[in-house]
Structure 1
Amino acid sequence: MALGYKTRRRLSLLVLLVGMPLYVVVAVTVVNLFDRPPFWLELLVYVGLGFLWILPMKPIFIGVGQPDPEQKPDAVSQRGDTPPR
């Protein structure tokens, strides 16, 4: 089942406002459960965790910054969302 444009926009906003802060708290908590690793290893873990959240969320964020493809072209131009030529 493919998600509609408006659903993906709402989900992406929810993920960014609620999911990301929760993910950061969980990632820091999990890393702090272990003894402090060397700086380079800790940095590598955080960079890896920073990219890990992208894998399941990529379908939600694809095309969200673009105009609604299901909307009529004349309605888009009336809102003023068209880029300058």
Structure 2
Amino acid sequence: MALSYKARRRWSLIILVVGLPIYIVLASVLATTVVRLLGDSGLVFLLQLAIYVGLGIAWILPFKSIFLGIGQADPDADPED
């Protein structure tokens, strides 16, 4: 069942305000753990960069259908509004 435009707007707001900060903290903890385990070298920087870039792209993939078209006008609304 597809979500309505209003439901997608609500869920996108919840995801951005609540879910994304939690995800950022978890990604930071993961990258910091890698540095602690492997020490401080040049390769650790590249691995940490790969973690941040990979997780920065990966968080949106499950939510792509929710965010699609949110910035546009409501397609179900009356044209008079």
1:83 corresponds in structure 2 to: none
Superposition misfits of 4+ residues, deviation over 3 angstroms: none
- List gaps (5 residues or longer) in structure 2: none
**Two-structure CA RMSD over aligned residues (Å):** 1.2
How many percent of aligned residue pairs carry the same amino acid?
Answer: 51
The residue correspondences of 1:1-85 to structure 2 (distance < 5 A) are 1-34=1-34, 35=37, 36=39, 38-75=44-81
How far apart are the structure 2 equivalents of 1:24 and 1:15?
A: 12
CA distance in 1, matches of 2:45, 2:28: 14
Q: Matched residue pairs, number?
A: 75
Q: Deviations over 1:19-73 (max 9, x none)?
A: 0000011111122233255212211110000000011010110000000000010
Structure 1 gaps of 5+ residues are 76-85
Judging by fraction of residues, say which structure has more helix: 2
Q: Normalising by structure 1, what TM-score?
A: 0.81
